Amino acid sequence: MRSLRITLAYDGGSFAGWQFQPNQRTVQGVVEDAIFQITQERVRVQGSGRTDAGVHALGQVASVELNNGLPAERLCLALNSVLPDDVSLIDVSDAPPRFHACRDAIKKRYRYQIDNGKRANVFLRRYRWHHGQTLDVKLMHEASQSLVGRHDFRSFETAGSERTDTVRTVSDMVVHRDERDGSQVNVEVEADGFLYNMVRTIVGTLCWVGHGRKPPSWVGDVLGALDRRKAGTTAPPHGLFLVHVYYPREVLEFQPPENASGS
Amino acid sequence: MRSLRITLAYDGGSFAGWQFQPNQRTVQGVVEDAIFQITQERVRVQGSGRTDAGVHALGQVASVELNNGLPAERLCLALNSVLPDDVSLIDVSDAPPRFHACRDAIKKRYRYQIDNGKRANVFLRRYRWHHGQTLDVKLMHEASQSLVGRHDFRSFETAGSERTDTVRTVSDMVVHRDERDGSQVNVEVEADGFLYNMVRTIVGTLCWVGHGRKPPSWVGDVLGALDRRKAGTTAPPHGLFLVHVYYPREVLEFQPPENASGS
């Protein structure tokens, strides 16, 4: 038995999210089917976290234990050859025994993409939330900085979650216009963990500042209120990308023992 | 009655091409339906040319004659409000009487987009032809230059067309890697007219050079052979974009007489 770390991209538009659900097309289900097709092993793939229906990934990470002895790169090629065209494995690497993509993650980076052109760009409509009214990106960035640091983020968590610990540390937050196409706005957030719909609620809230409906200082007030009803709307899923999941060096630099890959 | 020039973008992925066909979803049909919904006028919209099923447009141009007296910009907003999200009017302007988008066009520019990343990028798969093997873009550009100028392009026309005059003038042709993302390759072609599948056949032919299957000088030989069977394969439609249609200054600078817009 060996542990593997799988890094993958997917277009979430035609998936009912990451997590397996019977009779639904999910990323987890599709990856598990591909693994079965190549290795004849029926296994559970563990994601670094769930992504909701419609949310995309540039670098989701999953862990899995397999008996199959193929070198990791060959397994990657074989799996890509049977995966549908909206899922693509970026990398498959051997990982330390009992590597767990969710438990071992140190932090994650998300990007939320906004199309701020006057007319919605037809080629970006699947991957960007359209706002025809010009956003004041400088004010949004200023407002966002009150969220950086260790805080209780329950104002930005959609009700219904069972999580009781709502304290997270946001290590980076940037709101900026694309250098090449000034009508495109991106919001980037890096944290040690995220509450349910946290990025989408932060983005919806920052847009109220960007439209001039609220001043930048209001975002800090929302954070302090510890009350979801004080925040703005939740931005739709199709603008959200899981960009990167960070792991400790011992996971990334792990070298499997020689000939250890056999079953 | 007034003439209008409509500039529009569309994602061709869910259309059976530009031209109206009964019981098919076509761009022409969708635009004509929108005009009827807003103006109650059942008219024929004339495109600068047909685009095939799956081909996209950043700046297709169409002409239409209407009795409706709304200012052109308001008509544009109204039509966009009822058009589906894969078609977007960029501009509606008054045009000289009897303006005809096809007959009056001087030249057109097309772009063909190739994803030359080792793995297909899931977010580009609808808009780029994937080539996993690295293309020698310098050789492709060199080869393409033999097509610039006035030539008989019948070697690059798919059989079955009824056109008898196959001489066209290519005024510009560039093959280059995207500055920001070096794994993306674009082929740009500007000409006074295009034969059926001409850009797609040129691109398929240039890719044989890019893969080292043929030397750059071979493309000139194909052109000289006047025989479609000498050329390479026809690239698929989903990488092709109609970028721009050029018209004479008197069309672009036309100002409607005051109060002339009423019926």
| Mean pLDDT for the stretch of residues B190-201 | 96
Residue A130 class from Cβ within 10 Å (0-12 exposed, 13-18 middle, 19+ buried)? middle
Predicted local distance difference test score (pLDDT) of residue B262: 47
- Tokens representing B17 are 């091409």
CB contact under 8 Å between B88 and A9, yes or no, is no
- pLDDT > 50? residue A263: no
| Mean pLDDT for the stretch of residues A129-154 | 97
Distance in Å, alpha carbon of B223 to nearest chain A alpha carbon: 34
- pLDDT > 80? residue B244: yes
Please give the backbone phi and psi of residue B154, each rounded to the nearest 5 degrees, phi first. Answer: -65, -20
In percent, the amount of chain A with pLDDT more than 70 equals 97
* Full DSSP string of B9-56: EE-GGGSS-SS--TTS--HHHHHHHHHHHHH------EESS---TT-E
Q: Closest chain A residue to B121 measured between Cα atoms?
A: A88
Query: What confidence category does residue A161 fall into, taking pLDDT thresholds of 50, 70 and 90?
Result: low
* CA triple A35-A38-A41, angle to 5 deg: 55
Return the H-helix or E-strand segment holding B151: strand B149-152
Predicted local distance difference test score (pLDDT) of residue B159: 77
Using alpha carbons, select from B10, B85, B102, B87 the residue that is nearest to residue B55: B10
Predicted local distance difference test score (pLDDT) of residue B83: 98
| Mean pLDDT for the stretch of residues B35-60 | 97
> Rounded distance, CA B124 to CA A56, Å?
13
- pLDDT > 70? residue A248: yes
**Would you say the C-alpha torsion A86, B84, B189, B149 has a positive or negative sign?**
positive
Give me chain B's average pLDDT, please.
95
Cβ atoms A185, A178 nearer than 8 A? yes
pLDDT tens for A181-236 read 999 999 999 999 999 999 999 999 999 999 999 999 999 999 999 999 999 999 99
CB contact under 8 Å between B122 and A10, yes or no, is yes
CA A159 to mean position of chain CA atoms:
20
Using alpha carbons, select from B17, B219, B231, B4 the residue that is nearest to residue B101: B4
b/e code B39-53 from CB counts within 10 Å (16+ = b)? beeeeebbbbbebbb
Predicted local distance difference test score (pLDDT) of residue B177: 97
Euclidean distance between the first and the last CA atom of chain A, given in angstroms as a whole number? 6
- pLDDT > 90? residue B256: no
Predicted local distance difference test score (pLDDT) of residue B260: 52
Q: Which of A119, A122, A127 sits opposite B123 (nearest CB)?
A: A127
- Mapping DSSP onto H, E and C, the string for chain A reads CEEEEEEEEECHHHCCCCCCCCCCCCHHHHHHHHHHHHHCCCCCCEECCCCCCCCEEEEEEEEEEECCCCCHHHHHHHHHHHCCCCEEEEEEEEECCCCCCCCCCCEEEEEEEEECCCCCCCCCCCCCEECCCCCCHHHHHHHHHHHCEEEECHHHCCCCCCCCCCEEEEEEEEEEECCCCCCEEEEEEEECCCCCCHHHHHHHHHHHHHCCCCCCHHHHHHHHHCCHHHCCCCCCHHHEEEEEEECCHHHHCCCCCCCCCCC
Q: Which residues of chain B lie closer than 8 angstroms to A89, CB-CB?
A: 119
Task: Please give the model's pTM, rounded to 2 decimal places.
Answer: 0.92
pLDDT tens for A71-113 read 999 999 999 999 999 999 999 999 999 999 999 999 999 999 9
Q: Which residues of chain B lie closer than 8 angstroms to A88, CB-CB?
A: 119-122
Predicted local distance difference test score (pLDDT) of residue A74: 97
Residue B209: CB atoms within 10 Å: 24
Q: Which residues of B are catalytic?
A: 52
CB contact under 8 Å between A122 and B180, yes or no, is no
Cβ atoms A28, A36 nearer than 8 A? no
- pLDDT > 50? residue A262: no
Lowest mean pLDDT among A156-165, B103-112, B119-128, B254-263: B254-263
Predicted local distance difference test score (pLDDT) of residue A260: 52
- Tokens representing A214 are 């609220």
Q: Closest chain B residue to A89 measured between Cα atoms?
A: B119
Predicted local distance difference test score (pLDDT) of residue B97: 95
ipTM score of the complex?
0.90
Q: Which residues of chain B lie closer than 8 angstroms to A80, CB-CB?
A: 119
Predicted local distance difference test score (pLDDT) of residue B164: 79
A28, HSE (Cβ side, Cα atoms, 13 Å): 23
Q: Which residues of chain B lie closer than 8 angstroms to A123, CB-CB?
A: 9, 11, 56, 127
> Rounded distance, CA A92 to CA A34, Å?
14
A146, HSE (Cβ side, Cα atoms, 13 Å): 18
* Residues ≥6 apart with Cβ < 8 Å to A65: A1, A2, A3, A4, A43
pLDDT tens for B109-161 read 999 999 999 999 999 999 999 999 999 999 999 999 999 999 999 999 987 76
Give helix A137-144 / helix A198-210 axis angle, nearest 10°.
130
Strand partners, B108: B191, B245
- pLDDT > 60? residue B259: no
Q: Reduce the DSSP state of residue B156 to 3 states and report it.
A: helix
Q: Which of B80, B86, B122 sits opposite A85 (nearest CB)?
A: B122
